Chains A and B, each alone.
Chain A
Amino acid sequence: MSSRSTPTIKDYQTNIKPTWCPGCGNYTINTVLQQALVDLKLPPEKVVITYDIGCNGNGADKIRTYTFKSLHGRSLPPALGIKYANHDLTVIATIGDGGMFWEGAAHWIAACQRNEDITVLVWDNQIYALTTGQTSPTTQYGYPTKTTPQGNFDEPINPITVSLAAGATFVARGWVGQPTQLKELIKAAIRHPGFAIVDILQTCFTFNNQFQFYKEHTYTLDKPLTDKTEAYRLAEDRERFALGIFYQLKKNSIKEKHPLLKKAPLIHQPLDRKITDLLKEFE
């Protein structure tokens, strides 16, 4: 468990029994994330995971790292600050579809545009589950929910194309039905220097069970795409859902933008509290 020995999956498991419904995709995401961190040989104390409110948020004490359970839609802002303060940490923001694409959409767009150095994992079950089944920004057209009993009358938002358009430098889609691939996507996202988003299609067995649908309507991309136009084209397909990396580009990340951080993480830099020099300006 110390930072010297290689961590195992046990190091990442907590003593809390999850409260998610049987069959919930969250079990898979939680376990896959733990495995990804083990594969990356990251000691638990070097990882900070932020959480949203909702079924995702209930995962905050189901993994043994430093975790920060934020407000609804606000998983990203604390993650940004943590990274600025100590970029030696692996900072992962997890969040649900409602929190990411509606409540906190401004943070989503800005983080893509500014290529913030964090990994975002969207637990995308296309429904507001913890609040017992209302329409979410990714609920499929025509699907009946508590707030749209006649069927959802809006087209869902497209997390992939919007992220691409906003300037994200790593955009991927995974599915809990393909855990091995999902693990690799999460690892690639964590390794990516700059903003990485993985939209994780999952199933809410209670309010929106799309397991069979995704089983029949997903396929795996042979290799990561590098052409943005091609990425848009494939992402626009609402019949067959590609799984894999839609786009990846290495671009200036936190250290290039802030030369100060090249030397050491902010919290490890000596303080310069002297103001004598600054006062000259006010003479």
Chain B
Amino acid sequence: MDERRKSLAIRVGGKAGQGVKSVGKLIQKYLQELGFYTFGYLGYPSLIRGGYNFYQIDFSLHPLQASKKEAEIYIPLSPDALEKAAPFLTPQTTILLDPKLSPPPSSQQPLINLNLSPLLKENNIPPIMINTALVGSLAKVLNYPLNPLEATIKKVYKEKPALVIKDNLKAAELGYSLDLQWRGKAILPPPEEKADLLTLSGNEAIALGFIAGGGKFYTAYPMTPSTNILHYLTKVADKKKIIVRQASTEIEAIGSALGASYAGARSMVATSGGGVDLMSEFISLAGIAEVPLVLVDAQRTGPGTGLPTWQEQGDLNLARHAGHGEFPRLVIAPGDPEEAYLLTQEALNLAERYQMPVILLSDKHLSESVYSCRREFFLKNQIEIEKGKIVSQIKEKYFLYPRYDLKQTISPRPLPGTPNGLHTTNSDEHNEYGQSIESEPLREKMQAKRLKKLELLKNELPLPKIYGPRRAKTALIGWGSTKGSILEAQEYLQKEKNKALDFIHFTYLYPLDYQRLEKTLANYSNFILIENNSTGQLQKDLFQMGIRPNQLKVVLKDDGEPFFVDELVNKISKALESFL
């Protein structure tokens, strides 16, 4: 295997409330401190205490954005954690365990049996810190230095009392002091030069995009997997002078966000698919009343309550169609936190410039996975605020202001409080001043004015990005969060199997300019559409872009988990064979 591509995966599993997440985070931050690129994949049931949680960290010398299915090292933190993780372990997976937390496996897997409790007791370290000691032992097993772990502990526990930090440092040192070996040598030595990396989840990137994009009013009703945006923005609200408000219902959330946006505050609201269902009527209002709004749909497994804490890309059709009647909207699906950061800012601009709802599609995988991101990207990609046609001063006297002036596709929008700008913002069909009308030619004109925004958008929106040699016969197609897994699989197939593939990644999903896209797609003979759902929701659009059914294979996954790289490689290989 290409040395540069080599990666390792460490999985930690245990009961909810046992600290799986904090152990995972500590390991990931440590690996980052060592200079590795990392990817953290978290799984948990919809429970507060007890159910099985896991945190897998893949790491490598090269950028990586997805998990392998099977881990090289597994750390069970509870008695049933071995059994629960079975599908994700191989006979070669090394089990790193402490008998205090989990009995040894009955299988023949390589085992590193620690016995940390007596050691902690001797040194008066609270038993709960066995988790940190385990990370110390892991560092030893991997043959990595201890110092960066100490630096990481100081960083991660920065806000904890001094004694807690001291005890954790000691625990790590004790774990590290054991005489441990794994496969003889450091299998993946840390890089000599470190990139300036950050670990960020998609939700945190969206929240940062909101702040960088001049967001002022954020409101949401808690719903997994969107809730971390609410938590993060609440934490920084005072510092960044924004209002963050937990709404009493999803309907109140979107209604109040529309009110704030109408009054001149850049507003955003986030939820998951079920919340979008509830918000649909207000999305439709935003369409006819031409009020800007950014709505984040962090998708999860549906329908109904589905699997509330698991992955699915099931809402593309919902995002494109939610809300009755016909009205313009924009749907954007970032593929990773860097794109999420940038596209959230774009979404805020486009919503105001086009005076329409913009739906930003995330999902459990993007929203909650922890990615290595380049700090530089975040610092360099703050885009200029474009407020569109907001009017805050009107010199002429108007009895009523022609807010919906038909002479312009996008008409000036006076903010309430502005003298001479009085008008009605109306969910009813209306005339130029916003006054309600009944069926008449004016209705046709107003509807045409609004729908024309889609044509303007089509001219402006960029085409999907193409990754790869650009001369391949077959193109992989995906949208949103599958980007990482597809890029990894594409690279593997290129380097290990000598299969050249291009990858067309859609971030702007509605409106689509079929004519322009047809030209792009005409360069390929075959296509493999990859979606993390049951039906492949972009399929019909591809036919509209001139793809014939015999040119297209669809690779789907709907078991609640994202595509693992190794699994996707196999699925793509099979699809490729079927074209022959």
Q: How far, in whole Å, are A260 and B258 apart by their CA atoms in the complex? A: 21
Known: A2-B419, A85-B216. A77 touches B256 (CB 8 A): yes
Per the bound structure, the CA–CA distance linking A270 and B241 in Å amounts to 8
Chain A CB within 8 A of B281 CB:
yes
Interface residue total, chain B, C-beta cutoff 8 A: 70
Separation of A64 and B400 alpha carbons in the complex (Å)? 8
Does B405 touch A at the CB level, under 8 Å?
A: no
Of the candidates A64, A77, A86, A277, the one whose C-beta lies within 8 Å of that of B422 is A64
- Give A197 to B379 CA distance when docked, in angstroms: 48
Contact B423 A66 (CB under 8 A): yes
A35 within 8 Å of B (CB atoms): no
Q: Is the CB of B252 within 8 A of A46?
A: no
Chain B neighbourhood of A89, CB < 8 A: 263, 416-417
Whether A58 sits at the interface, judged by CB under 8 Å, is yes
* Residues of B close to A271: CB separation below 8 A: 214, 216, 241, 385
Decide if A149 is an interface residue (CB 8 Å cutoff): no
Question: Contact at B245–A84, with CB atoms within 8 Å?
Answer: yes
Closest to A19 in B: B436
List CB contacts (< 8 Å) of A40-86 with chain B: 43-46, 48, 50, 53, 57-58, 60-61, 64-71, 74, 76-86
Q: Counting CB contacts under 8 A, is B267 at the interface?
A: yes
Nearest B residue to A1, CB-CB? B397
Q: Is the CB of B436 within 8 A of A80?
A: no
Query: At the interface, yes or no: B478 with Cβ under 8 Å from chain A?
Result: no
Q: Are A282 and B200 in contact (CB under 8 A)?
A: yes
B234 contacts A by Cβ under 8 Å: no
Q: Chain B residues with Cβ under 8 A from A76's Cβ?
A: 252, 255
- Are B434 and A61 within 8 A (Cβ)? yes
Stretch at the interface among B204-212, B353-361, B519-527: B204-212
Binds A, one of B115-123, B424-432, B462-470: B424-432
A26, chain B: closest CB distance, angstroms:
14
B375 within 8 A of A: yes
Instruction: Report chain B residues within 8 Å CB of A261.
Output: 243
- Say how far A263's CB is from chain B's closest CB, in angstroms: 9
Q: Is B533 an interface residue (CB 8 A)?
A: no
Query: A223: which B residues are within 8 A, CB to CB?
Result: none
Q: Which residue of B lies closest to A44 (CB)?
A: B422
B59 within 8 A of A: no
Which residue of the partner chain B has the closest CB to A269? B241
**Closest approach, in angstroms, between the C-beta of B159 and any C-beta of chain A?**
10
Q: Is B435 an interface residue (CB 8 A)?
A: yes
CB distance from B336 to the nearest CB of A (A): 14
Nearest B residue to A58 by beta-carbon distance?
B436
Cβ–Cβ < 8 Å partners of A147 in chain B: none
A15-B399, A48-B263, A82-B260 given; A279·B252 CB < 8 A: no
Q: B382 at the A/B interface (Cβ < 8 Å)?
A: yes
A194–B2 CA distance with the chains assembled, in angstroms:
66
Contacts of B433-451 to chain A: CB distance below 8 A: 433-436
> Chain A contacts of B397 at CB under 8 A?
1
Give CA–CA (A82, B291) in the complex, Å: 13
Q: Is B257 an interface residue (CB 8 A)?
A: yes
B248 within 8 A of A: yes
Which of these, B204, B259, B375, B382, contacts A81 with CB under 8 Å? B259
User: Which of B243, B420, B426 is close to A258, meaning CB atoms less than 8 Å apart?
Assistant: B243
Q: How far is the CA of A53 from the CA of B198 in the complex (A)?
A: 49
Residue of B nearest to A113 (CB): B248
Does A216 reach chain B (CB closer than 8 Å)?
no
B422 close to A282 (CB less than 8 A): no
Q: What are the interface flags for A259-283 relative to B under an 8 Å C-beta threshold, 1 for contact and 0 otherwise?
A: 1110000110111110111110011
Residues of A within 8 A of B285 (CB): 70-71
Whether B427 and A71, one on each chain, are in contact in the complex, defined by CB atoms closer than 8 angstroms, is yes
The answer to whether residues A86 and B213 also contact, given A2-B419, A71-B285, A282-B204 and a CB cut-off of 8 A, is no
Residues in chain A near residue B415, CB distance under 8 A: 86, 267
A65-B199 Cα distance, complex, nearest whole Å = 49
Asked if B257 and A81 make an inter-chain contact with CB atoms under 8 angstroms apart, the answer reads yes
Hey, what's the 0/1 contact readout for B138-176 against A, CB within 8 Å counting as 1?
A: 000000000000000001000000000000000000000
Q: How would residues 535 to 558 of chain B score, 1 for a CB under 8 Å from any chain A CB and 0 otherwise?
A: 000000000000000000000000
Q: Are A16 and B382 in contact (CB under 8 A)?
A: no
- State whether A86 touches B417 (Cβ < 8 A): yes
Residues of chain B lying within 8 A (CB to CB) of residue A283 = 155, 198
Name the B residues within 8 Å of A46 (CB-CB).
Answer: 417
Q: A110 near B: Cβ within 8 Å?
A: yes
Q: Are A86 and B416 in contact (CB under 8 A)?
A: yes
A270 to B259, CA, bound (A): 20
Query: Is A228 an interface residue when CB atoms closer than 8 A count as contact?
Result: no
Q: Hey, what's the 0/1 contact readout for B208-239 against A, CB within 8 Å counting as 1?
A: 10011110110100000000000000001111
> Is the pair B417, A88 in contact by a Cβ cutoff of 8 Å?
yes
Within the assembled complex, what's the spacing in Å between the Cα atoms of A16 and B285? 23
> Which residues on the A side are within 8 Å of B256 (C-beta)?
77-78, 80-81, 84
A6 adjacent to chain B (CB < 8 Å) = no
Query: Is B254 located at the chain interface by the 8 A CB criterion?
Result: yes
Q: Is the CB of A273 within 8 A of B214?
A: yes
B54 CB to closest chain A CB, in angstroms?
Answer: 22
In the docked arrangement, what's the CA distance between A68 and B423, Å? 9
Does residue B573 face the partner (Cβ distance < 8 Å to A)? no
Instruction: Give the residue of A60, A77, A259, A273 whose beta carbon is less than 8 angstroms from that of B252.
Output: A77
Give A109 to B246 CA distance when docked, in angstroms: 15
Chain A residues, Cβ within 8 Å of B236: 278
CB contacts (< 8 Å) of A82 on chain B: these are 259-260, 262-263, 416
Q: Is the CB of A85 within 8 A of B264?
A: yes
B258 touches which one: A43, A66, A81, A107 (CB < 8 A)? A81
B243 touches A266 (CB 8 A): yes
> CB within 8 A of A74: which of B255, B257, B261, B425?
B255
What would 4 more interface pairs be, CB under 8 Å, given A80-B255, A106-B249? A66-B423, A76-B255, A271-B214, A278-B211
* 29 A-B contact pairs sorted by A residue (CB < 8 Å): A14-B435, A65-B422, A66-B421, A71-B285, A74-B282, A77-B254, A79-B259, A80-B252, A81-B260, A81-B261, A85-B267, A106-B252, A107-B251, A110-B252, A258-B243, A259-B238, A261-B243, A266-B216, A266-B243, A266-B260, A267-B263, A270-B241, A271-B385, A272-B241, A273-B213, A273-B382, A278-B208, A279-B198, A279-B375
